[in-house]
Chain A
Amino acid sequence: MSLIHIENLTVWAGQTELLAPMSLTLEKGQRLTILGQTGSGKSLLAQAIMGNLPSSLRTEGKVTLFGDEVNAKQRQRFWGHRISMLPQEPWNSLDPLMGAQPQLQETYQLVAGQSAGEARQSADYTLALQGLSDSGHKRVDQLSGGMAQRVAIACAMAGGASVLLADEPTKGLDVSRRDQVVEQLLTQSEQGTLITITHDVAVARKIGGHMMVIKAGELVEEGDAEQILKAPQHAFTQALIEADPVNWPAPEPSTQTDKRLLDVEDLTIGYGTSALTKHLSFTLDEGEVVGVVGDSGCGKSTLGDTLLGVQQPLGGRIKRQRQAAVQQWQKLYQDPTAAVSRAVSLRTLLEDTIKLHNIDRARIAPLMQQLGLTDALLNRNSEGVSGGELQRFCMLRVLLLDPVFLFADEPTSRLDPVTQRDVSKLLVDVAKQNGCAVMLVSHDPDLIAKRCDRVINLNH
């Protein structure tokens, strides 16, 4: 008996087909990896299998779980203890008012059916296993993204489901944590079956099994993962694999100006009384591109806020060696949708920036061309453009202010590999041309190695 069997599953919005017919069968111990770019319909497939699509969408086709054909409503009864899904954005998926441990304990108790005492032990044990023993009482706003991810994974697995769907389970995790999550998923899948949805070729390579490559809701290639990754047949698959940072060309070194921009001596950063990183000393020259790496929660974002003067250092000194206006010390955010208002069009936002800082309009068209932004794009709001386009719009706004320093906090981690390669290259190139120093934060050492002159590692 196959654990999961799907025949010609399609998703419709009105008369528009969002997902072309998909079929798959998985036995116990088998794995499936679905590879595709952001917006390719991978998540729709996962939601259609779970049976939690929004009511505006309609599905057709047959889903058989554990030998019984079940409709979407019936599948809800399987949630947690037979079929489970890892959330894509764990920081939004945990109760904002409840600590991590109670959320895990309740799952052991209410879903897996353990007694209160057993559930508490199970929860404490699992948290210890994840290196979160000291964080059980913390709420999601006190956890780093990576820690929240581990808590959410533990919650999704606590019910003991044998069919596990993982929708971008490693998004935003650094490499060591990413490999840990992958290990965790692989161990879990031995008892049942695992469906992983990812745009990360490295993750797909590690999980392996059967592979489906999806582009714009259509299946472009299917077969054994190792085979496809070694010799991709379809042009789209080839492009995806090429875009993996490992395969990027080596960087050209920046032209050194030897003009000092920033001196940092014995800096201690953190919130309130708890220090995240101590005794940090480094220098930064004008026009230099420096990578910042470190485990999730080690204070990469806090370093940026401290250098920009948004947050007070707990100790040490930051000396700016160059006089520049406050808006010339800039930041690029990880999630462009959170940094841009969706209430008005991008043109309005751009006009606001121009008016506020008296920017010469003649500069806009060439810069937009360089960033690959069309004028028509400005008529839409942030929801009407892709993540890559929006991040390039954010870069446009920042670069118009003639920054001398730019702290780019994981600016490409939410983009798919092809867009990630293009946007990160563009960022570094344009900054170099404008003599702007960049601190580029990333959890991906390959990306840092291919984009930066040198690296600051916060773990040491």
Chain B
Amino acid sequence: MRALLLKRLLQLVAVSWGVGTLTFFLMRALPGDMAYRIAASRYGMDAVDNRAADMVRAELGLDQSAWSAYWQWFTDLLSWNLGNSLVSGAPVTEQIWHMLGHSVLLALAGILLSILIAVPLGLASAFKGGWLDRVLLTISTALRAVPVFVIGLLAVIMFALEWNLLPVAGFGTPAHLVLPALTLALSLAAISNRVVHTEARRVFGSSFFEFARMKGLSPSQAFMRHGARNIAVPVVAFLGIQLITVVEGVVMIESLFSWPGIGHGLAHAIFARDIPLIQGAALMMGVLFVVMNTLVDIACHYLDPRGGQLS
């Protein structure tokens, strides 16, 4: 266990450095004058002229070389100082903490909801087969074939505009969470219900499941004692792989629903060329990814002890 955590900590450092550095140079490589973009974000497009841009340039020290800017960012990072936003001037750490809470809430709600959708449907289609299996396969394929923002738009049109059941966008009340979480959950469940289905079929058809029945366990006892855990092992591992879909989906969905999370913040920061905020947001997503993968690995180990010691 300690070995695994140590290894993951090193990975965390590597990911942080890699993501931060990559975003830094990618942002520098974008065409256009950074000072203009930042000034436009501060004062509005119409109020920008050379003077305003020069003021921004002087204030933020944008004319220093890329290497010295990078070096400064790097030494700041070592003291856990992500700098100040180039647009608002507020500390990036503060903004990111604020956005992170919203993103984690959305991600967890989406994952949980996707499990609640995928597991019963996957098990039912494996158990029953026939038309239920074919219908679910069709829906899953269709949902997976469209980008996640199309699912979101359809949800908005149906639940918010047509039926007036839920707010279109924004945040604050639990009702605001429903549509973004549902959109994320649907795009995740579209695949995970098929994984549950396949694994359940494998277990239901296995010799050990048949023998559990043969030695006298009832179907429900055989499922609880020998089915559930054997199905869970590959499914949980798949949820780990799916985390990348979660990160991807969160960026899209937050922008669509104006959900004030990290994805939304990242998109805005990119338009405003707010490099410290971009770096901070990307960094935090990388960190989240490593942490959640570690949690999945630990869960897999306890479900399936065959892999030996955690390392």
- Identify the A interface with B (CB < 8 A): 50, 52, 76, 79-81, 84-85, 87, 89, 92-98, 106-107, 110-111, 139, 141, 152, 155-156, 158-159, 161
**Which among B211, B217, B221, B225 is the interface contact of A87 at CB below 8 angstroms?**
B211
Q: How far is the CB of B181 from chain A (nearest CB, A)?
A: 32
* Inter-subunit contact A87/B216 (CB<8 Å): no
Q: Is the CB of A96 within 8 A of B306?
A: yes
Contacts of A106 in B (CB 8 A): 217, 225
Which of chain A's residues have a CB closer than 8 A to the CB of B214?
Answer: 50, 52, 79-80, 84-85, 87, 156
B221 / chain A contacts, CB cutoff of 8 Å: 110
Instruction: Answer yes or no: B210 CB below 8 A from chain A CBs.
Output: yes
Assembled-state Cα–Cα distance A81/B217 (Å): 10
| 11 pairs from A and B in contact (CB 8 Å cutoff) | A92-B207, A93-B207, A93-B211, A95-B208, A97-B230, A97-B303, A97-B306, A106-B225, A111-B215, A111-B217, A156-B215
B211 — which chain A residues lie within 8 A by C-beta? 87, 93-94, 152, 155-156
CB <8 Å contact, B226 and A139 = no
With both beta carbons as reference points, the residue of chain B lying nearest to A160 in the complex is identified as B216
CA distance in complex: A139, B208 (Å): 13
Which residues of chain B are near A84, meaning CB under 8 Å?
214-216
A87, A96, A155: the one within 8 Å of B230 (CB) = A96
Question: Which residues on the A side are within 8 Å of B215 (C-beta)?
Answer: 79-80, 84, 107, 111, 155-156, 158-159
User: Which residues of B have CB within 8 Å of A161?
Assistant: 216
- Given A93-B207, A95-B208, check contact A111 B230 (CB 8 Å): no
Shortest CB distance B196–A (Å): 17
Q: Which 5 A-B pairs have CB atoms at the shortest separation, nearest pair first?
A: A80-B216, A111-B216, A93-B211, A92-B207, A159-B216
Q: Give the docked Cα–Cα distance between A85 and B213 (Å).
A: 10
B229 part of interface (Cβ distance < 8 Å): yes
Q: Is the interface of B mostly helix, strand, loop or mixed?
A: helix
State whether the Cβ of B206 lies closer than 8 Å to any Cβ in chain A. Answer: yes
Q: Does B305 contact A (CB under 8 A)?
A: yes
Number of residues of chain B lying within 8 A (CB) of chain A: 21
Specify which chain A residues have a CB less than 8 angstroms from the CB of B217 in the assembled complex.
Answer: 80, 106-107, 110-111
If A110-B217, A110-B221 touch, whether A97 touches B207 (CB-CB below 8 Å) is no
Q: Which residue of B lies closest to A156 (CB)?
A: B215
Docked Cα-Cα span, A185 to B225, in Å, equals 27
* CB proximity of A256 to chain B, nearest CB, Å: 46
Contacts of B207 in A (CB 8 A): 87, 89, 92-93
State whether B216 touches A81 (Cβ < 8 A). yes
16 further A-B contacts with Cβ under 8 Å, apart from A93-B210, A111-B215, A155-B215, are A52-B210, A52-B213, A76-B213, A80-B215, A87-B211, A93-B207, A93-B211, A95-B208, A96-B208, A97-B229, A97-B303, A107-B216, A107-B217, A139-B305, A155-B211, A158-B215
A195 to chain B, nearest CB (A): 14
User: B204 CB to closest chain A CB, in angstroms?
Assistant: 13
Closest to B227 in A: A95
The one of B208, B213, B306 in contact with A92, judged by C-beta atoms closer than 8 angstroms, is B208
Query: With an 8 A cutoff between CB atoms, is B304 at the interface?
Result: yes
Judged by a CB distance under 8 angstroms, whether B233 is at the interface is yes
Across the interface, B213 reaches (CB within 8 A) one of A79, A139, A141, namely A79
Question: How far is the CB of A298 from the nearest CB of chain B, in Å?
Answer: 23
B109 at interface, CB cutoff 8 A: no
B153 at the interface (CB under 8 A from A): no
CB distance from B221 to the nearest CB of A (A): 6
Most chain A beta-carbon neighbours within 10 Å: one of B212, B214, B305, B306:
B214
The residue on B at minimum CB distance from A89 is: B207
Closest to B212 in A: A95
Chain A residues, Cβ within 8 Å of B206:
92
Partner of A97, one of B210, B212, B233: B233
Q: B residues 273-311 with Cβ under 8 Å of A?
A: 303-306
Interface centre among A80, A95, A159 (most CB of B within 10 A): A95
> How many whole Å from B225's CB to the nearest CB in chain A?
6
Q: Distance in Å from the Cβ of B205 to the closest Cβ of chain A?
A: 10
Q: Are B305 and A97 in contact (CB under 8 A)?
A: yes
Please tell me if the beta carbons of B216 and A141 are within 8 angstroms of each other in the complex. no
- Contact partners of B303 in chain A: CB under 8 A: 97
Q: Chain B residues near A107: list those with CB within 8 A.
A: 215-217
Whether A94 contacts B208 by the Cβ 8 Å rule is yes
Closest chain A residue to B211 by CB distance?
A93
Cα distance A97–B304 in the bound complex, in angstroms: 6
Task: Decide if B226 touches A98 in the complex (CB within 8 Å).
Answer: yes
- A157 — nearest CB in chain B belongs to which residue? B215
Chain A residues within an 8 Å CB radius of B229: 97-98
Alpha-carbon distance between A50 and B215 when the two chains are bound, in angstroms: 11
Tell me the complex Cα distance, A94–B233, Å.
Answer: 17
Provide the residues of chain A in CB contact with B216, threshold 8 Å. Answer: 79-81, 84, 107, 110-111, 159, 161
Task: Evaluate contact between A95 and B230: CB separation under 8 angstroms.
Answer: yes
Residues of B within 8 A of A50 (CB): 214
User: Which residues of B have CB within 8 Å of A81?
Assistant: 216
The minimal Cβ–Cβ distance linking A16 to chain B, given in whole angstroms, is 23
CA distance A87 to B211 in the complex (A): 7
Shortest beta-carbon distance, A170 to chain B, in Å?
17
- Chain A: minimal CB distance from B192 (Å): 21
Q: What is the distance, in angstroms, from B108's C-beta to the closest C-beta of chain A?
A: 27
Report the bound CA distance from A93 to B217 in whole Å: 14
Interchain CB contact under 8 A, B210 and A95 = no
Q: Kindly identify, within residues 111 to 168 of chain B, every residue whose CB is under 8 Å from any CB belonging to chain A.
A: none
- What CA separation (Å) do A107 and B218 show in the bound complex? 11
Chain A: which residue is nearest B213 at the CB level? A79
Given contacts A96-B230, A97-B230, contact A139 B210 (CB under 8 A): no
